[in-house]
């Protein structure tokens, strides 16, 4: 077996931590989904979203909903919101959930708390307004003025400490799951 004590690493292009993503609603897709275990040894779903448009295109964000019975409402809400064809009134295999969501377009609501080590969090998942299906190319999307404002904002600096505003104020009735 080879000794890796002499392995050389290059820190010249390494940034200090993550660059935060501005709070807002972003077109994205379910990039990866894996069944995992929480620190309390409970089953969970590890969801990786990839932003598909705008200044943060290609950036990834994560959500880790529990698969415990008392928490399944969150996964059911995601499945309903993005319009899967799964029957949500009985038992479903986790592999079916993963297959139903993989590469499916959606919009994610992203919050930002710069005081945290990992300042960004996905707080909700909404249906996509069209476009990306998990590929690098997509049809142009029609955007409302709010979404265009999110893209125009400057990227926040990690030392920014501002008033935390509710993202829900930016939603319209059309955005809410039925």
The tokens of 11 are what?
């820190």
Give pTM, 2 decimals: 0.67
Would you say residue 8 lies in a domain?
A: no
Over the stretch 18-41, which tens digit does the pLDDT of each residue have? 678 999 999 999 999 999 999 999
Number of helices (H) and strands (E), helices first, in the chain?
A: 3, 5
Is 66 domain-assigned? yes
What is the tally of structural domains in the chain? 1
Residue 4 lies in a domain: no
Beta bridge partners of 168: none
Sheet containing 60-63: order of strands: 60-63, 43-51, 24-37, 105-112, 120-127
- Helix locations, the chain, DSSP H: 72-81, 94-101, 145-152
Task: List pLDDT tens digits, range 52-91.
Answer: 999 999 999 999 999 999 999 999 999 999 988 899 999 9
Q: Is residue 166 part of a domain?
A: no
Range of the domain at 40: 24-153
12 part of a folded domain: no
Q: Rounded to an integer, what distance in angstroms lies between the CA atom of residue 100 and that of residue 84?
A: 6
Q: What is the CATH number of the domain that holds 71?
A: 2.40.50
76 part of a folded domain: yes
């Amino acid at each position: 077996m080879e000794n890796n004590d002499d392995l050389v690493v290059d820190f010249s292009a390494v940034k200090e931590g993550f660059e935060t993503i501005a709070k807002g609603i972003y077109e994205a897709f379910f990039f990866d989904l894996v069944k995992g275990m929480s620190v309390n040894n409970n089953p969970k779903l590890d969801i990786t979203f990839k932003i598909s448009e705008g200044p943060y295109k290609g950036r990834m964000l994560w959500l880790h909903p529990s698969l415990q019975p008392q928490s399944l409402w969150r996964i059911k809400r995601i499945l309903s919101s993005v319009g899967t064809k799964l029957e949500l009134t009985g038992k479903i295999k986790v592999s079916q959930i993963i297959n139903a969501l993989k590469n499916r377009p959606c919009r994610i609501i992203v919050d930002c708390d710069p005081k945290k080590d990992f300042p960004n969090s996905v707080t909700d998942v909404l249906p996509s307004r069209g476009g990306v299906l998990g590929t690098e190319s997509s049809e142009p999307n029609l955007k409302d003025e709010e979404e265009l404002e999110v893209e125009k904002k400057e990227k926040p600096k990690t030392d920014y400490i501002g008033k935390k505003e509710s993202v829900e104020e930016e939603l319209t009735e059309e955005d809410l799951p039925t």
